[in-house]
A and B are shown apart, each in its own frame.
Chain A
């Protein structure tokens, strides 16, 4: 199997087949990252598409000092945050403030399972969590979303966020404390 570095060189020399291999290799993880942030699959795929187009456009600027995956995932985070900001602005313009609205619940498929009644509750729980995470400060939000991606090591999260593992840990501790407070209030209101 050709490694990412060789594929990048081939892409830089105009080989689009090499780029297809890169997309095939990384698209699932990139979409998962985008989906963590934007919550709606169609939006996540649009953002992921933008990520790959950006990579293709700026492949000449890739210096190779970080792994391609780190660069890709960082781009995915930035593009997703841009998308959320844009959506917030649009909703503010139309008088709605929440990023994920109740109306998004039907479209929101953080898991791809079909939705029998017992799974609707799980989706609802996830939506509540997603809304709570979205209220966190930006760096805490990024740390939480990335750490929730399966098989994403803390070192990888730290590389993507251009920080140290200990900073990520402290961001997560603070974020979880805040999330707990928010969710407790919400749950107590529900019961």
Chain B
């Protein structure tokens, strides 16, 4: 029983004491970080230019697709309007009873006058 209490006490102490207390970092840690930062700075402008050119290319591609889409839509609209016109002229060309030149029919004109 006493042994178990001692073990528990030992464990409590172990759990509660700090794990890292007096570790001193290497003297050149800050210099190492700054050296890496320097390297990064030298490479970053290139990276920024690449990023910028990618963005421009993406914007151009979007504009290209949008304008193509608009052109396609407008040509489709025009062609459907054209078919509508064709349908209307078709009615007159068929000489159907509803055709316009019935009104210019001479016989009909005369009959009316009579």
The reply to whether B23 and A53 form a contact with Cβ atoms under 8 Å apart is no
> Which residues of chain A have C-beta atoms less than 8 A from B33's C-beta?
23, 27, 49, 52-53
Say yes or no: A45 contacts B24, CB within 8 Å.
Answer: no
B: interface residue count bin: 20 to 34
The 8 A CB mask of B6-40 against A (1 = contact, 0 = none) is 01101110110011111111100110111011101
Tell me the A119-162 residues at the B interface (CB within 8 Å).
125-126, 129-130, 145, 148-150
Contact status B15-A176, CB under 8 Å: yes
Q: Is the CB of B10 within 8 A of A187?
A: yes
For the complex, what is the distance from the CA of A19 to the CA of B41, rounded to whole Å? 12
Residues A187 and B23 in contact in the complex (CB < 8 Å), given A16-B38, A16-B41: no
Nearest-CB residue, chain A, relative to B14: A129
Q: Say how far A150's CB is from chain B's closest CB, in angstroms.
A: 5
Alpha-carbon gap, A10 to B41, bound state (A): 15
* Bound complex: CA A191 to CA B6 (Å): 12
Contact present for A150 and B21 (CB under 8 Å): yes
Q: Choose among B24, B29, B41 the residue with the greatest number of A CB atoms under 10 Å from its CB.
A: B29
With a CB–CB cut-off of 8 A, which chain B residues contact A57? 40
Question: From DSSP, what is the main secondary structure of chain A's interface residues?
Answer: helix
Total cross-chain contacts (CB, 8 A): 93
Contacts A129-B14, A129-B15; is A110 near B37 (CB within 8 Å)? no
Closest-by-CB residue of B relative to A129 is B14
Closest to B17 in A: A148
Residue pair A48, B23 in contact (C-beta under 8 Å):
no
Can you identify 24 A-B contacts, CB atoms within 8 angstroms? A20-B34, A27-B30, A27-B33, A36-B19, A49-B33, A57-B40, A109-B23, A111-B21, A113-B22, A125-B14, A126-B14, A129-B14, A148-B19, A148-B20, A149-B20, A179-B11, A179-B15, A180-B11, A180-B12, A180-B15, A183-B15, A184-B11, A187-B11, A191-B7
Which A residues form the contact surface with B (CB < 8 A)?
Answer: 16, 19-20, 23-24, 27-28, 31-32, 35-36, 41, 45, 48-49, 52-53, 56-57, 109-113, 125-126, 129-130, 145, 148-150, 176, 179-180, 183-184, 187-188, 191
